[in-house]
Amino acid sequence: MRSFLDSVRHKLIWKVFGIFWLTTITVGVANILITKQIVQSESRIEYLNQTLQRLASDGVEVYETQGPRALTSWYKRTFRREELRVMLLDKQDKPLALPPRWRKLERHTADKPIPSAYYTLLQSLEQKPISDSGKRYKLRVLPSAETDALYRLPGPLYLYRLGISFIIILVGSWWLSRSIARPVKVLTRASQSLADGNFNTNVSSKIGSRRDELGELAATFDEMASRIEKLLASQRQLFSNISHDIRTPLTRQKLAIELAREAADPRPMLDKLEQQNQHIEHLIDNLLNFFRLDSQQSLEKKPVQLDGLLKACLENAYIEMEAKSLHLCTHIDSGLTIKGDATLLARAFDNLLANAMKYAPTFSEINMQASRVGPIIRIDIRDQGPGIPETDLKKVIEAFYRSDSSRGAATGGYGLGLAIVDKILKQHNGVLALANAAPTGLIATVSFSVQELV
């Protein structure tokens, strides 16, 4: 359950989902806060407008009923109650009964430019009352630090809300883009570098310890680059080995030809030439088989009586075993049937038997057992030869690999026999395993899954 949650948690979709909703929530919170300021600003202005409407009626009534002196006192009382400096003007826009200090403030304001937004607000709040006698007046608010701080038009806040939303979305988009686009750019550059032949590209270290799909892609890319590098190195080694293994018999042929020319009886040299030609022919035949198996995409599989095929392989090897005085011990169950290509399977077991006979000492024993063990058909071929060092058991299956022991070129091998066997068995969903026997010898085990049984 924990592994499932970890795999879900590290999916790229959750990163995209998280950045998207974090951006959305941040934009929403910022809009709520700024909208709250807008609503408060509009509420204050509406309250101020209603207050000025009431004050306009009161000021006209005081001026017409009690005179200019009473209006001056009303100005002061209004400032104390409402913290507003207002003045009443006649129809010629002349202030009526303005206190001396306020008159200086009014003249100072007239000389000093008022910010346009603040001026627009004061203009919009200007009241134009009409008295009962029909006279027209104006009630104007004088600029002050109190009104400037408390009453502001909400217009700039709308722009702030739009700007902040844009910045938050831009940051979220940049974050998301950097989270996805940066690894993609690193992978693109690494692909170009790989195409140019540079396999030393460690993408995982460049994009950090990501555990999402892009991190998996980077790790897969590094693994691919490493495998391609190993494959090319293997191909270079393969061509080097082929060149060496062909050059050696050709050199011997050249030497034999020179000796044959000078010898009174050239027949021994001709026999050696024929032997070297057989070595080259055998090598080329193995190479053709090896590369043909590599290029073969699918097999036409038919039921193969495995027990009969193994007995036929033993009969073919009988003469060579007799020549080397080898004793054969077999136990092959009947009814062992798989689907496959009988010719290729016969070649695989012929190679395994030939390998066992090649390294088995004279008068030693070769043992073959074939049986079904649970869901597996298992064939064991054991010899009493020198065996293979434990460090080389898995490597000898590789093409042209030779162990440092006596199982090497000195015995006439080219390092292709087991590689061909391995490829044939893999095409039949089989497995080849090598193990050293006690006290001496090698056991080659071939296993076929019961799923391949007819």
Q: Which residue's entry shows tokens 């790229």?
A: 12
User: Are 330 and 410 part of one and the same domain?
Assistant: yes
The domain total for the chain is 3
User: Are 390 and 284 part of one and the same domain?
Assistant: no
- Domain CATH for 226: 1.10.287
Can you name the residues that pair with 303 across neighbouring β-strands? 339
Give the whole-angstrom CA distance, residue 161 versus residue 30: 7
Summary count for the chain: helices (H), strands (E): 14, 9
Query: 134, 89 in Cβ contact below 8 A?
Result: no
Cis amide leading into 95 (omega within 30): no
pLDDT, residue 294, reads 63
Report angle CA 358, 359, 365 to the nearest 5 degrees.
95
How would you class 324 by CB atoms within 10 Å of its CB: exposed for 0-12, middle for 13-18, buried for 19 or more?
A: middle
Query: 27, 168 in Cβ contact below 8 A?
Result: yes
Strand 430-436's sheet: what is its strand order?
A: 327-332, 365-373, 376-382, 442-449, 430-436
Strand 302-305, strand 430-436: pairing: unpaired
- Asked whether residue 129 is assigned to any structural domain, the reply reads yes
Q: How far is CA 112 from CA 83, 96, 105, 183, 368, in A?
A: 22, 21, 10, 59, 114
- Asked whether residue 163 is assigned to any structural domain, the reply reads no
Give the whole-angstrom CA distance, residue 407 versus residue 279: 17
Q: How far is CA 330 from CA 47, 302, 307, 333, in A?
A: 110, 26, 11, 10
Among residues 278, 295, 312, the one where a domain terminates is 295
Which residues, 6 or more positions from 97, have their beta carbon under 8 angstroms from its beta carbon?
A: 63, 68, 69, 71, 72, 75, 88
User: Are 343 and 259 part of one and the same domain?
Assistant: no
Give the whole-angstrom CA distance, residue 186 versus residue 221: 11
- Asked whether residue 167 is assigned to any structural domain, the reply reads no
Give the whole-angstrom CA distance, residue 121 versus residue 332: 107
User: Are 76 and 128 part of one and the same domain?
Assistant: yes
pLDDT, residue 23, reads 85
User: Are 82 and 226 part of one and the same domain?
Assistant: no
Task: Supply φ then ψ for residue 89, to 5 degrees.
Answer: -120, 150
User: Are 135 and 210 part of one and the same domain?
Assistant: no
Can you name the residues that pair with 57 across neighbouring β-strands? none
User: Are 208 and 285 part of one and the same domain?
Assistant: yes
- Asked whether residue 225 is assigned to any structural domain, the reply reads yes
Give the whole-angstrom CA distance, residue 193 versus residue 222: 12
Range of the domain at 203: 199-295
Q: Which residue's entry shows tokens 């050199």?
A: 251
User: Are 284 and 367 part of one and the same domain?
Assistant: no
Q: Would you give the DSSP letter of residue 237?
A: H
Q: Where are the beta strands (DSSP E) in 283-401?
A: 302-305, 327-332, 337-340, 365-373, 376-382
Report angle CA 376, 377, 380 to the nearest 5 degrees.
120
Which residues, 6 or more positions from 19, have their beta carbon under 8 angstroms from its beta carbon?
A: 172, 175, 176, 179
Segment (H or E) for 306: helix 306-316
pLDDT, residue 140, reads 82
User: Are 65 and 110 part of one and the same domain?
Assistant: yes
- Is pTM beyond 0.85 here? no
Among residues 98, 131, 156, the one where a domain terminates is 156
Give the whole-angstrom CA distance, residue 141 versus residue 82: 12
pLDDT tens, residue order, the chain (454 aa) = 445 445 545 576 777 777 788 888 888 888 888 888 888 777 877 887 888 888 888 888 888 888 888 888 888 888 888 878 888 888 887 888 777 666 655 554 554 555 555 566 667 778 888 888 888 888 887 776 556 655 666 667 777 778 888 888 888 888 877 777 777 777 788 788 777 777 777 777 667 666 667 777 777 877 787 777 777 776 776 666 666 666 767 777 777 777 777 777 777 777 777 776 776 776 676 666 666 666 565 667 888 898 899 999 989 888 888 888 999 999 999 888 888 888 888 888 988 998 889 889 999 999 999 998 878 899 999 999 888 888 888 778 776 665 544 444 444 455 677 888 888 888 888 899 999 988 888 999 999 986 544 4
pLDDT, residue 41, reads 77
Half-sphere exposure for 12 (CA within 13 Å, toward CB) = 13
User: Are 39 and 132 part of one and the same domain?
Assistant: yes
Give the whole-angstrom CA distance, residue 141 versus residue 137: 13
Token pair belonging to 97: 């009964």
User: Are 418 and 315 part of one and the same domain?
Assistant: yes
User: Are 262 and 360 part of one and the same domain?
Assistant: no
Give the whole-angstrom CA distance, residue 434 versus residue 355: 12
Cα Rg of the chain, angstroms:
50
